[in-house]
Amino acid sequence: MWGKVRGIGNRVIGRRRAEERAGREERAGREKRPHNLFEAAAAYVSACAEDDQDRIDEAAGWVSPEALSFGVNELACRAVIALARERDESPGTVARALLGLPAA
């Protein structure tokens, strides 16, 4: 009797493991190359701007928290510089305006 129970359990566990392997292989097939920190930062910031928590969580999982922080910082610097050039203002003035701070 215990042999039958053990056999059923082994089949169930075997199927579950096979499904997990198939899921990992399918995900690996979709993601042929890993995301870089700049892709993660762009996806993360745009998802934050749109308040899309699912996309925020997904992008945050692409790279380490440290790499994401670096990428978001780099994106912020580049955005402020681009806006400063467009507005013909200093980056400090643009950054303060974006944050709603009074002019220095």
Element (H, E) at 57: helix 53-60
- pLDDT, position 27: 64
Cα separation of 96 and 36, whole Å? Answer: 29
Span 9-65, pLDDT tens digits: 556 566 666 677 766 666 665 656 788 999 999 999 999 999 999 999 999 999 999
Contact 42, 75 (CB under 8 A): yes
More reliable by pLDDT, 60 or 5: 60
Q: What pLDDT is stored for residue 91 in this prediction?
A: 96
Instruction: Single out the residue of 70, 71, 101, 104 nearest to residue 90, CA to CA.
Output: 104
Eight-class DSSP state of 32 = S
In tens, the pLDDT along 70-89 reads 999 999 999 999 999 999 99
- pLDDT at position 87 is 96
Q: How many CB atoms lie within 10 A of CB 33?
A: 5
Distances (CA, A) of 56 to 44, 65, 102: 5, 12, 30
Query: What is the model's pTM?
Result: 0.65
